[in-house]
Amino acid sequence: MNVFIVNGNGLYASMFKNRGWKVVDDINKANLIQFTGGEDVDPNLYGEAPHPETFVNKMRDKVEQQIYNKVKNKIPMTGICRGGQFLHVMNGGQMFQNVNNHGRSHKVRIKGEDIICSSTHHQMMRMCNPDVEILGYCFESTKKEYVGFDGKVDEYVGDDEDIEVLFYPNSYCLCFQPHPEFYQDECQDVYFNLIHRLLI
């Protein structure tokens, strides 16, 4: 199987190669497109002003939007951390722009099992699209902030789960907030199981 990695580093390539995949430079030869971690997704893409803790790369968003639009409904896509959040936004999703307690590893319940996963994100996918399946969640954060239509920071009030893994079956997009490329562990095993079961 061939994977095209968007804006990744050697960790992503090594992860796929260790799993028997070939990393390709030609997107047209890919069986899977892998979006990667990095800066926050521009809130303007989902109709919000930026939070004071939000840092974006508009050029990266623009380039990745072009890639997404080119391969949509043609090649399955998966995203890690920022990459998963980007695919969520491209599918009409929104974000909590600032949450706490996610800058450390913690348990994530994925398909009924508690898995220890890495966690480095301060933004989090926000459930707002009926055409999506929640595959992984936890209950770590005690603060979830977003920016209202008035441009002011608001805090979400509720005890909803923290969404960690989403799947969009209509567009074949897997959104995975942990970082499976960090370690060859159970989190990475689960990630590839989801890829093969849902996308390949």
DSSP-derived 3-state class of residue 72: coil
Q: How far apart are CA 9 and CA 136, in angstroms?
A: 25
Quick one: pLDDT at residue 166? Answer: 96
Residue 130's Cβ-side half-sphere holds a number of Cα atoms within 13 Å equal to: 0
How much is the pLDDT for 149? 75
- 153 forms bridges with which residues in the sheet? 147
- Give the global pTM: 0.95
Q: What top-level class would CATH report for the domain 2-199?
A: alpha beta
Span 73-121, pLDDT tens digits: 999 999 999 999 999 999 999 999 999 878 888 899 998 899 999 888 8
- Number of neighbouring beta carbons within 10 Å of residue 187: 22
Say which residues have a Cβ less than 8 Å from residue 85's Cβ, sequence separation at least 6: 40, 41, 79, 95, 121, 123, 125, 175, 177
Q: Give per-residue pLDDT as tens, 179-193.
A: 999 988 899 999 999
Q: Report which residue type is found at 192.
A: F
Asked if 56 and 40 count as a contact pair (C-beta separation under 8 A), the reply is yes
Query: In angstroms, rounded to a whole number, what is the distance separating the alpha carbons of residues 102 and 122?
Result: 6
**pLDDT tens per residue across span 141-200:** 888 999 977 888 988 877 789 999 999 999 999 999 999 999 888 999 999 999 999 998
Residues 13-60: tens digit of each pLDDT: 999 999 999 999 999 999 999 999 999 999 999 999 999 999 999 999
